[in-house]
Amino acid sequence: MGDLAVGARSGHGPDEQPGPSDDGAGQAVTGAVNLESDDMDGDGHGGGSGGGPSGGSRTGGRAPKKPRSFWKELPLLVVIALVLALVIKTFLVQAFSIPSASMENTLQIGDRVLVDKLTPWFGSEPSRGEVIVFHDPDGWLRDEPTPQPNPVQRVLGWIGLMPSTNEKDLIKRVIGVGGDTIECNGTGPLEVNGKALNEPYVFAGNTPCTDDNMGGKFKVTVPIGKLWVMGDHRQDSMDSRYHQQDRNQGFVPVDNVVGRAIVVAWPPTHWTTLPIPDTFDQPGIKAAMGAAPGALGLAGAAPLVLWRRRRLTQGNTRVSEASTAG
């Protein structure tokens, strides 16, 4: 601070008057002020312990700290990255690998999809047309081979850096939600609440419905809190149709849903989003679901209305009796 102040005043101060041209005298004055400044900055000992007239005073006698080397910080960075990956996998987004052809051509074997796990935490439930990942409801994967990952794959899958190979999860398209009536006759079309679906996502060469006696022909009403799901490869998908004899009658409990698949992330050549097809937005398809809450609300409100009318009637009767007696 002393050097800067003296330099500014001796060379460029606006109020400074030109002094004598004796350079030696000027240097002597400057040096004297510098020494005085150094004494005040330190412990009262001129020169400090750094060897130079001002070096020791400016650092307080302590050498500056050296930054940590990259190799010393690397373990901490790795731990932070792993914790973030685990948090993201648990609460936000998780990667899943497609092991079968049941969702072709929408999803290919070996594709990696990213599944949104955040919105279910806020009470959002799956909608018609969404592609969802869900836990096995009742032994749907009982006869499927289970991969044997190595220890590294297990750890990376648990953290979320790789798709998990241990979880018993499936991926299908939601066709019906609670209150919907779904019907398949012959080879189709598939109907939801009496509306025929135009399904361009169905595997080329497949029919929307399967004309067989094992579950391909059906008419079901989805209970509240359940889902009816089907694969896009209709003739190669063991979905709700073929599990109508299990404890859930082929329906998937909403609580089993992991999340909605929102994008195909790998390989890059297959990258695409997974929007809800327009066929599920046609007028009238949501009529059944819209009527169900209204009917439930009306049924719940009826006793309250009757109770209130009875109270009012009794009150009017008492008032009338009191008036007559008076």
Peptide bond into 120 cis (omega under 30): no
Exactly one of 57, 89, 164, 172 is catalytic; which is it?
Answer: 172
Does residue 102 carry a catalytic annotation? yes
* Angle, helices 2-11/23-41, rounded to nearest 10 degrees: 150
Alpha-carbon span 146 to 112, nearest angstrom? 18
Does residue 172 carry a catalytic annotation? yes
Give the residue from 135, 105, 137, 114 showing the smallest Cα distance to 232.
Answer: 105
End-to-end CA distance of the chain: 101
CA distances from 172 to 30, 102, 121, 259, 260 (A): 84, 8, 21, 11, 10
Complete DSSP assignment for 288-310: HHHHHHHHHHHHHHHHHHHHHHH
Exactly one of 102, 164, 237, 240 is catalytic; which is it?
Answer: 102
Phi and psi at residue 173, to the nearest 5°: -100, 135
Q: 3-class SS at 175?
A: strand
Residue 60: count other Cβ atoms within 10 Å of its Cβ: 10
Active site residues: 102, 172
